[in-house]
Amino acid sequence: MKKFFFMFLLCLYLSFNLLSIPSMAQQKTIKEGVYRSEDLNLSENMTHTIKNPSNNEYAFIMAFDSNQITQQYMQLIPNSEAYILTPLEPGYQLLVVTNDEIIID
């Protein structure tokens, strides 16, 4: 009876761990360039954060709408905290100027 009970608990424990789905959003690491919102595969009309993990490089971020009107401009200092990025709707573009990488959550 003990063996059965322990085997049951072990199977129950493993089944709960195998069926768990991570709820954290995937981080995107991007380099210098111009990115369309469709290319970044970010959820539409959701709030995302952006940060600069570099130790010594500044980063400049500009978000443009489909009419090429600037919606947001940021200068990220080295090792910056996470800042809120404007929701990127279809047709938006993101301009990144840096010598390193930035992270979008």
Task: Give CA angle at 99 (97, 65), nearest 5°.
Answer: 15
Using 50, 70 and 90 to split pLDDT, how confident is the model at 43?
confident
Burial (CB count within 10 angstroms: exposed 0-12, middle 13-18, buried 19+), residue 19: exposed
Q: What is the mean pLDDT of the segment spanning 20-38? A: 78
Q: Are 61 and 73 in contact (CB under 8 A)?
A: yes
Please tell me the distance from the alpha carbon of residue 66 to that of residue 40, in angstroms, as a whole number.
16
Using 50, 70 and 90 to split pLDDT, how confident is the model at 19?
low
Among the CATH numbers 2.60.120, 3.20.20, 1.10.760, 2.40.30, which is that of 25-104? 2.60.120
Q: Kindly report the pTM of this predicted structure.
A: 0.70
